Amino acid sequence: MLHAFTLVVEAAVLYCVWLFIRGYVIPSTLRNIPGPKRASLLTGNLSIMFSPQGIPWHLSMSRVFGKAFKINGWFGDEQLYVTDPLALHHIVIKDQHIYEETSMFIHGNRMSFGHGLLGALGDTHRKQRKILNPVFSNAQMRNLAPIFYSLSQQLCDRLERTIDTLEFTEVNMRPWLSKISLEIIGEAGFGYSFGSFGGADRGNNYRAHVKDYGRVIASLALPRFFLPFFTAIGSPGFLRMLLNLTPSRRLHKLRDIVDAMDKTCVGIYEDRKKEVGDGEDRQDIISVLLRANQAAEAKDRLSDEELRGQINTLVFAGSDTTLSALSRVLHLLALHPDVQSKLRAEVVQARRDNAGDDLDYDVIAGLPYLDAITRETLRLHSPVTFLSRTTRADISLPLSKPILSTSGHPISAVPLKNNTNVIIGIAAANRDKDMWGEDADEWKPERWLNEDGSVRVTATKDADGERFPGVYSGMMTFLGGSRACIGFKFSQLEFKVVVSMLLERFEFQLPVGKEIGWRNSVVTAPILKGEFDGAAQLPLMVRFIKRDGI
pLDDT tens, 376-433?
A: 999 999 999 999 999 999 999 999 999 999 999 999 999 999 999 999 999 999 999 9
Q: How many CB atoms lie within 10 A of CB 489?
A: 19
Name, in order, each residue with C-beta under 8 angstroms of 26's C-beta and a sequence gap of 6 or more. Answer: none
Phi, psi (5° rounding) for residue 3?
A: -65, -40
d(CA 532, CA 56): 14
Q: What's the total number of domains in the chain?
A: 2
Give the domain range for residue 413: 1-113+385-448
Give pLDDT, residue 16.
Answer: 62
The answer to whether the predicted template modeling score (pTM) of the entire model surpasses 0.85 is: yes
Residues 431 and 307 in one domain: no
Beta pairing class for 78-82 and 421-424: parallel
Amino acid letter, residue 123: D
Name, in order, each residue with C-beta under 8 angstroms of 301's C-beta and a sequence gap of 6 or more. Answer: 131, 293, 294
Mean pLDDT of the residues in the chain: 89
In a domain, 65, yes or no: yes
Residues 139 and 80 in one domain: no
d(CA 201, CA 199): 7
d(CA 51, CA 53): 5
Residues 154 and 107 in one domain: no
Domain end, chosen from 396, 429, 448, is at 448
**Per-residue model confidence as pLDDT tens digits over 153-168:** 999 999 999 887 778 9
- With 0-12 / 13-18 / 19 or more C-beta atoms within 10 angstroms meaning exposed / middle / buried, residue 122 is exposed
In a domain, 482, yes or no: yes
Phi, psi (5° rounding) for residue 224?
A: -65, -20
- With 0-12 / 13-18 / 19 or more C-beta atoms within 10 angstroms meaning exposed / middle / buried, residue 532 is middle
H helix or E strand, kind and range, residue 387? strand 387-391
In a domain, 122, yes or no: no
Residues 109 and 146 in one domain: no
Q: Is residue 485 a known part of a binding site?
A: yes
Residues 367 and 248 in one domain: yes
**Per-residue model confidence as pLDDT tens digits over 442-455:** 999 999 999 888 99
Phi, psi (5° rounding) for residue 34?
A: -70, 160
- The residues facing 472 across adjacent strands are 475
In a domain, 118, yes or no: no
Q: What is the DSSP string of 224-275?
A: GGGHHHHHTSS-HHHHHHHHHHS--HHHHHHHHHHHHHHHHHHHHHHHHHHH
Residues 141 and 49 in one domain: no
In a domain, 279, yes or no: yes
H helix or E strand, kind and range, residue 526? strand 525-528
Which range is least confidently modeled, 35-44, 45-54, 104-113, 280-289?
A: 104-113
In a domain, 123, yes or no: no
Residues 104 and 137 in one domain: no
Helix (H, G, I), strand (E, B) or coil at 205: coil
Please compute the mean of the pLDDT values over residues 466-474 and round it to a whole number: 94
Give pLDDT, residue 303.
Answer: 94
Name, in order, each residue with C-beta under 8 angstroms of 248's C-beta and a sequence gap of 6 or more. Answer: none
Helix (H, G, I), strand (E, B) or coil at 419: coil
Residues 209 and 331 in one domain: yes
Please compute the mean of the pLDDT values over residues 72-82 and round it to a whole number: 92
Longest dimension (CA), the chain: 76
Domain end, chosen from 429, 448, 467, is at 448
Helix (H, G, I), strand (E, B) or coil at 544: strand
Residues 396 and 344 in one domain: no
Give pLDDT, residue 215.
Answer: 77
More confident residue, 129 or 76: 129
Nearest residue to 156 via CA among 491, 498, 495: 498
Q: What share of the chain is helix, strand, coil (3-state, %, to 5)?
A: 55, 10, 35
Amino acid letter, residue 433: K
Alpha helices (runs of H) in 278-353, residue ranges in sequence order: 285-295, 304-335, 337-353
Residues 169 and 213 in one domain: yes
CA atoms within 13 A on the CB side of 443: 16
**Per-residue model confidence as pLDDT tens digits over 311-361:** 988 888 888 899 999 999 999 999 999 999 999 999 999 999 999 999 999
Domain harbouring 423, CATH code: 3.30.43.20
Q: How many CB atoms lie within 10 A of CB 356?
A: 10
In a domain, 431, yes or no: yes
In a domain, 9, yes or no: yes
Residues 102 and 58 in one domain: yes
The secondary structure of residue 300, as a DSSP letter, is G
Domain harbouring 320, CATH code: 1.10.630.10
Helix (H, G, I), strand (E, B) or coil at 22: helix
CA atoms within 13 A on the CB side of 515: 5
Residues 209 and 350 in one domain: yes
Residue 453 to residues 46, 246, 446, 492, Cα–Cα distance (Å):
44, 60, 9, 20
Nearest residue to 92 via CA among 419, 432, 388: 388
d(CA 293, CA 272): 13
